[in-house]
Amino acid sequence: MSVEGLKRMYELNHYAIGLNARDLTHEQSLLGPGPHGNCANWVLGHIVTNRGYILSMVGEQPVWDEVDTTIAWCW
């Protein structure tokens, strides 16, 4: 995938997350959708963590440091 393709994919993903989460309160973000689903906070934490791995691969600084990433994976 090209850098421009990855950039565009991330922009679209960011836009979609923004639309879906714009009115979501912190309390709502912690509620799970059901017995086999994860809350929005957990899902978004994993998106940020995985984006950080990709940023590291291309020589950029991740948004979260290693401690934040560990907390996201353990939660």
Cβ atoms of 51 and 10 within 8 Å: the answer is yes
Number of helices and strands in the chain (H, E): 4, 0
The model's confidence at residue 49, banded by pLDDT at 50, 70 and 90, is confident
Mean pLDDT across 44-53: 86
Secondary structure of residue 23 in the 3-state scheme: coil
pLDDT digits (tens, 9 = 90+) for 30-46: 888 888 888 898 888 88
